[in-house]
Amino acid sequence: MKTKSLFRAATACCMAAVIAFTPADALAATLLRRGSSGTEVKSVQLSLKELGYFTYPKVTGYYGSITETAVKKFQRDNNLKADGVVGSNTRAALKALASDDEDAKLMMEPADTSKMGDLDWFSEVQYIFKRGDTAKITDVDTGRSFMLKRTFGTNHADVEPLTREDAGIIKDIWGGWSWTRRAVIVEIDGYIIAGSLAAMPHAGVDSAPAVKYVSNRSGGYGWGKNLDAVKGNGVNGVIDLHFKNSRNHNTNKVKKEHQDMVKKANIFIENNYK
């Protein structure tokens, strides 16, 4: 306990020294928040990665939700204001605790670009994102994230919000349950995959056992197998998550509306992660 207190005290002194000898204008120039990009963001990500906070497969130079979450956790662990913004105090703490050798950091974990982008549903994604798996989903336009579990689906992934909180985030982004397609980033097991999500629950009843035949399934689906496996999430049935070349279940056709959103998500990945 005494050693830990001494370490914190030494860190605080080091941080204070860094702030004291850094010009105010220079500190102001390092103010970073969600939406920032460039070499300064990459430097912060490298330091966070070395310290175990930034867990993306590679540094991107783009300050998105993943970076913001990592910064907040670092700030909380170091008794800083956990606002997700890298100002003078947070930068000083990173400088005090992380190595200055950025070339060495870059070599720690080279990016595997084969795990990024518009991966094909039938040849790749259905085997990466298997039934029963949970993935983190980030809406491209808002940067907000939530968790989905793949429970059914063959031509595409039928997924369900993991919790009521996840369902609430989805409804907030879409403005209610909707068939509108939105570009999303799907993260699972180190993969960063371009996807398209429509947020309209269908073909299920939350109060009935999964796969049991029931009537009055959501979305006007009537009698049939209950496609609702995640209970207590406040959602009746599944929502549709599409990937490159995935198809609708009822027509067995590729939908242009979904593929356009997959392309949009892939452009975002190309610009920010590769």
Q: What is the CATH number of the domain that holds 32?
A: 1.10.101.10
Distance of CA 155 to the CA centre of its chain: 24
Whether residue 196 is predicted with pLDDT greater than 80 in this model: the reply is yes
Same domain, 64 and 152: no
Tell me which residue of 4, 9, 33, 1 sits closest to 96, measured CA to CA. Answer: 9
> For the segment 82-95, what is each residue's pLDDT rounded down to a tens digit?
999 999 899 999 99
Locate tokens 């990945």: which residue? 269
Last residue of a domain, one of 71, 90, 106: 106
What pLDDT shows up at residue 170?
98
pTM above 0.85, yes or no: no
d(CA 209, CA 227): 9
Same domain, 22 and 49: yes
Whether residue 186 is predicted with pLDDT greater than 90 in this model: the reply is yes
> For the segment 204-218, what is each residue's pLDDT rounded down to a tens digit?
999 999 999 999 999
Question: Under DSSP, is residue 237 helix (H, G, I), strand (E, B) or coil?
Answer: coil
Same domain, 33 and 167: no
d(CA 208, CA 93): 52
For 164, half-sphere exposure in the C-beta direction (CA atoms, 13 angstrom radius) is 3
183, 272 contact by CB (below 8 A): no
Give every CB contact of residue 164 below 8 A, 6+ residues apart in sequence: 232, 233, 234
Same domain, 65 and 121: no
Q: What single DSSP character describes residue 124?
A: I
Local confidence band at 36 (pLDDT 50, 70, 90 cut-offs): confident
Whether residue 126 is predicted with pLDDT greater than 80 in this model: the reply is yes
Residue 210's domain comprises: 114-272
What pLDDT shows up at residue 6?
44
19, 28 contact by CB (below 8 A): no
What pLDDT shows up at residue 30?
55
Whether residue 176 is predicted with pLDDT greater than 70 in this model: the reply is yes
Mean of pLDDT over the chain? 86
What pLDDT shows up at residue 5?
43
Local confidence band at 16 (pLDDT 50, 70, 90 cut-offs): very low
Task: Work out the average pLDDT over 238-259.
Answer: 97
Last residue of a domain, one of 80, 106, 132: 106
Q: Which two tokens stand for residue 250?
A: 């009822």
Local confidence band at 60 (pLDDT 50, 70, 90 cut-offs): confident
Last residue of a domain, one of 72, 106, 140: 106
Same domain, 184 and 81: no
Same domain, 187 and 236: yes
The count of domains in the chain is 2
Same domain, 100 and 198: no
Same domain, 85 and 221: no
Distance of CA 139 to the CA centre of its chain: 8
What pLDDT shows up at residue 166?
96
